Amino acid sequence: MSLNFKRRLVGLQEKMAELDLDIVVYGSCQNFQYLTGLLIEWRHGTDLISGVNNVFVPREGEPILTLSSVSPERPSRTWIGDIRGVQRGASYGELVEKVVSDLDLKGGRVGLGDHLWGSTIVEVARAVKGAEFSSAEALMDHLRMIKDPGEVERLRRVAKLTDRVMEAVVPKIKEGVTQHELGLEVEHQARLQGASDVSFPPTAGFVKSGSEVAPTPFTYPMEKGLVPGTSIAFDIGFVMDGYCSDFGRSFYFGPANREVEKGYEALQQGVLETVDKMYDGSMRVCDLFPALEKTLDRLGYGDYLRARLKTGNLGHQIGIEVHEPPWLRQGQEEILRTNMVMALEPKVWHAGEYYLRVEDIVLVGPRKTEFLTRFDRELFQL
């Protein structure tokens, strides 16, 4: 399913007109991918990215894309028609000057995005008469908040991959395995399943029942093997086709006492009841935590929820980036809208006894919200 790049360009240019910006320049970053469709690697060090891979967007008209001749991405993969290749050793300053001239700007107000090299900013300053700079990092947040059908399909695929990875990792949870080994196994299985990257380093946090109370949950030594009577909290996420997942589940190794068993049931029930209340226009994102908190209070685990989520943050949007605005916390009054995709990530923590998390990716719909991650909710004791 194709992505709606026309919507993205029009939406960006409307925001530029609102803010009186004449041109916006994005380097190899999340917004570059969103606007061009090119999956040039931007998630790692800038030393791996050419400083000439940039897109220049005027307030009116079509953008111009400059690409290194050694870029792994083929120009045929982007919808942009005006692509100017940069040969090794060529003067990028001269090319920037020609790009700016061809765009025929009416003024000098320039928006700068993420991952622009300092040398590029210098060349833009030279080429744009009387340049005045401001940040352009958030100009497409309102567009990225609502996913188009092509994005939803990609998020479905990476969510299914995430479920398969978790299914493959569970049989590896055996006595003596370490947190470090499980983290490596998660990434290994993800690569086997087709992920191009992890969206953050995977973790499998152990908390041994009866351990010393500490200010943070994870004091279990990384290289110490798993023993019975231990909760295991996975936090994992992957990248596929340029889109991210973020997912969490907990398990208990060995027989679980009634308190911890009921705690996990309460956490799952809180997620299910909260999602059941979510649909287009039903509430604001800041209402999500109180909705889940109400269920946990009713089931007797509200204090353990608040022990870990002191700020009332229940998660975030997700898409090209694993963490996208708005965050699901107090003060964020955006109304739920169809095709918002969110990662809900509640946790309960009884210090010294257990730490449990449930995290799912959900798609807001016109009448109901759909779980994109569907890993077994009943599996807990191992």
What's the pLDDT score for residue 1?
A: 64
* Dist CA 259 CA 134 (whole Å): 53
What's the pLDDT score for residue 22?
A: 97
* Dist CA 155 CA 161 (whole Å): 10
* Dist CA 53 CA 28 (whole Å): 6
What's the pLDDT score for residue 49?
A: 80
User: Where does residue 250 rank: exposed (0-12), middle (13-18), buried (19+ CB within 10 A)?
Assistant: buried
Spans in the chain with pLDDT lower than 70: 1, 71-74
What's the pLDDT score for residue 42?
A: 86
* Dist CA 110 CA 73 (whole Å): 27
Q: Which tokens sit at 362?
A: 């959900």
Please name the amino acid found at residue 317: Q
What's the pLDDT score for residue 90?
A: 84
Q: How far is CA 131 from the centre of its chain?
A: 33
| pTM flag (> 0.85) | yes
The 10s digit of each residue's pLDDT in 65-118 is: 999 887 666 677 899 999 999 888 789 999 999 999 999 999 999 999 988 999
* Dist CA 42 CA 49 (whole Å): 7
What's the pLDDT score for residue 73?
A: 65
Q: How far is CA 132 from the centre of its chain?
A: 31
Longest dimension (CA), the chain: 71
